[in-house]
Amino acid sequence: MGFDRRAWRDRFAPNYAQKLLLLAAVPMVLAVAAIAVVVAVQSRALAEREIQSLETQLIEAKKDELRNYVTQARNGFYFIYGSASPTDQEAKDRVKQILSAMIYGEEGFFFVYDYDGTNLVSPRQTDMINQNWRGLTDSTGTPVVDEFIDIARRGAGYHTHLWPKPSTGEEAEMITYVTSFPSWQWAVGTGVFIDDVIASVAAARAEVQARIQRTFLAIGGITLAALMLVFVSGMVLNLRERRLADAKLKALAQRVIDAHEEERGRVARELHDGISQILVGVRYALDNARRRLTRSETDQAVGALDAGIENLGQAITEVRRISRDLRPGVLDDLGLGPALKTLIDEFAERTGLDIEFTTVPFRNRLDQEAKIALYRIAQEALTNIERHSGATRVRIDLRGHTGGATLRIEDNGRGLPVGDRSSPGLGLRNMQERMEQLDGQLRLVPVAPPESGTVIEARLPLSHLLPPDRPAPIAKAAE
């Protein structure tokens, strides 16, 4: 059994309601995604500024600490340096001994280089003592000893570089504060490793990234919950609307069937009660005339033929009436006003009711659907008046106006009970559906006491009025 791609696509293709749901959900998802991106960018930028501020504060604290160390050390032996000459070797040795003993913390120490680059003091890395380290750089190529000497020549300052940690021998980032003993041409300083600061900054950045990820997850969860809520609500609404639509469709289909059956029954009754009996009379007259002609009773045969011809004329008239009721030709040929006038005249002649018909000429023409709808409403209303109202007087008014067109039918009959207005019959439902299809309105209003009767008012919007016909050009008229 082969794979039916079309059946699979038709089965899982989204319907109209699902497409509307997607159309509503996609902008929401895009908006939430944009909000999430903006929140993430702003949060990261704010956190980065805070981290940089924290890093600056920590480093400045380290620098202040270094400057205090050097200041305290200098104060400790300044009484020696201040009174010694540049060639006083004994004073230099005493100061070197003092600096060599000044070890603090796990990694802290003081160092001394002369301006030529020779290391004079390095208590934690003694293998460097009495060696010239001009040109020494760290693993990134940053000058170290040369920069110490340059800073000392300028007076004092800081230098950031990599340096092996005495405890492990591995390079780590270090901030060094260097000051000068100018008369001895010494560069004296100490440094502090800032790997703890770097670790703190890295931890802060990691925490920021984790917070951003948690924010994304929270926004994603809220969005997913909102989408699920929209989806479930849409599905429930879709199912409910589908049930209502199915029920309305079934009711409409049943009304259409009832209307067809009623129309068929009416046509059948008219054919049976009218044309069928007339044609039976015609056959009887023709048969009678044939018998009389056979017996050479000429005068009686002529009378029978005359009766048959008369009955045949009545049948033709009845066929025309039924055809006109089904589809009046005058409606297409002359318009709604003449068609209603013909319908009303025939109704008045058949029922003997007092009917008054007034109309105002239309500035614009009604379209075909509007003409048929108003004609059928008038036809149905007159039928209901004849069958149910017991009215003696009917007033019909048709007019066009700036808002569209209005057909008003008023009678003085028994009126429409409240129950019938709330649950209208098939004829009234047909009227209402015709007006709803044309975006019009149908109002059933009882006549105010002490009078009795019912007013049916059908209003069509201006959209169903066409501009008047323009006169044909002379050349085309001549054709």
pLDDT at 134: 92
Torsion of CA 299, 300, 304, 307, to 10 degrees: 70
CA end-to-end span of the chain: 67
How many residues are present in the chain? 479
* 341 and 450 assigned to the same domain: yes
**CATH number of the domain residue 337 falls in:** 3.30.565.10
Q: Is residue 410 part of a domain?
A: yes
Tokens encoding 124: 């934690």
Q: Is residue 233 part of a domain?
A: no
Q: Is residue 334 part of a domain?
A: yes
**What does residue 441 show for φ and ψ, rounded to 5 degrees?**
-130, 140
Q: How many CB atoms lie within 10 A of CB 224?
A: 12
* 394 and 271 assigned to the same domain: no
Q: Is residue 6 part of a domain?
A: no
Task: Measure the CA–CA gap between 341 and 328, rounded to whole angstroms.
Answer: 12
User: Pick from 292, 318, 344: which residue ends a domain?
Assistant: 318
Confidence of residue 18 (pLDDT cuts 50, 70, 90): low
* 299 and 409 assigned to the same domain: no
* 255 and 142 assigned to the same domain: no
With a cut of 70, say whether residue 2 has pLDDT above it.
Answer: no
Average pLDDT over residues 275-296: 71
Instruction: Choose the weakest-confidence range: 1-15, 80-94, 249-263.
Output: 1-15
Domain count, the chain: 3
Structural domain for 152, as ranges? 51-193
* 356 and 452 assigned to the same domain: yes
Average pLDDT over residues 256-285: 68
pLDDT at 133: 93
Task: Measure the CA–CA gap between 195 and 163, rounded to whole angstroms.
Answer: 11
* 297 and 341 assigned to the same domain: no
Q: Is residue 435 part of a domain?
A: yes
With CA atoms as reference, report the closest residue to 465 among 399, 335, 370: 370
Give the SS3 label for residue 472: coil
pLDDT at 473: 39
CB 447 within 8 A of CB 453: yes
* 434 and 314 assigned to the same domain: no
User: Pick from 296, 318, 340: which residue ends a domain?
Assistant: 318
With a cut of 80, say whether residue 448 has pLDDT above it.
Answer: no
Burial class (CB in 10 A: 0-12, 13-18, 19+), 361: exposed
CB 162 within 8 A of CB 85: no
CB 375 within 8 A of CB 341: no
User: Pick from 254, 285, 318: which residue ends a domain?
Assistant: 318
pLDDT at 4: 57
Q: What would the pLDDT profile of 366-420 be if each residue is shown by its tens digit?
A: 788 888 888 888 888 888 888 887 888 899 998 887 778 889 998 888 776 544 4
* 92 and 117 assigned to the same domain: yes
Average pLDDT over residues 183-201: 85
Q: What would the pLDDT profile of 55-105 be if each residue is shown by its tens digit?
A: 788 788 888 888 888 887 777 777 787 778 888 888 888 888 888 888 887
* 57 and 182 assigned to the same domain: yes
Highest mean pLDDT among 114-123, 278-287, 325-334, 375-384: 114-123
pLDDT at 30: 79
Tokens encoding 164: 């092996």
Q: Who contacts 127 (Cβ-Cβ below 8 Å, separation ≥6)?
A: none
Instruction: Choose the weakest-confidence range: 246-260, 316-330, 350-364, 406-420.
Output: 316-330
Q: Is residue 292 part of a domain?
A: yes
Angle subtended by helix axes 16-83 and 89-101, to nearest 10:
140
Tokens encoding 393: 């007087």
Q: Is residue 29 part of a domain?
A: no
**CATH number of the domain residue 151 falls in:** 3.30.450.20
* 298 and 349 assigned to the same domain: no
Report how far apart, in Å, the C-alpha atoms of 25 and of each of 4, 22, 218, 219 are: 31, 5, 18, 15
Q: What would the pLDDT profile of 335-374 be if each residue is shown by its tens digit?
A: 788 888 888 888 888 888 888 999 876 655 778 888 888 8
* Higher local confidence (pLDDT), 312 or 343: 343
Strand partners, 281: none
Task: Measure the CA–CA gap between 326 and 333, rounded to whole angstroms.
Answer: 15
Q: Is residue 437 part of a domain?
A: yes
Confidence of residue 428 (pLDDT cuts 50, 70, 90): confident
Task: Measure the CA–CA gap between 425 and 255, rounded to whole angstroms.
Answer: 10
H or E stretch covering 237: helix 195-270
- Strands 393-401 and 354-359 turn out to be parallel
Q: Who contacts 284 (Cβ-Cβ below 8 Å, separation ≥6)?
A: none
* 172 and 264 assigned to the same domain: no
Confidence of residue 276 (pLDDT cuts 50, 70, 90): low
pLDDT at 119: 93
With CA atoms as reference, report the closest residue to 184 among 248, 266, 320, 91: 91
* 462 and 334 assigned to the same domain: yes
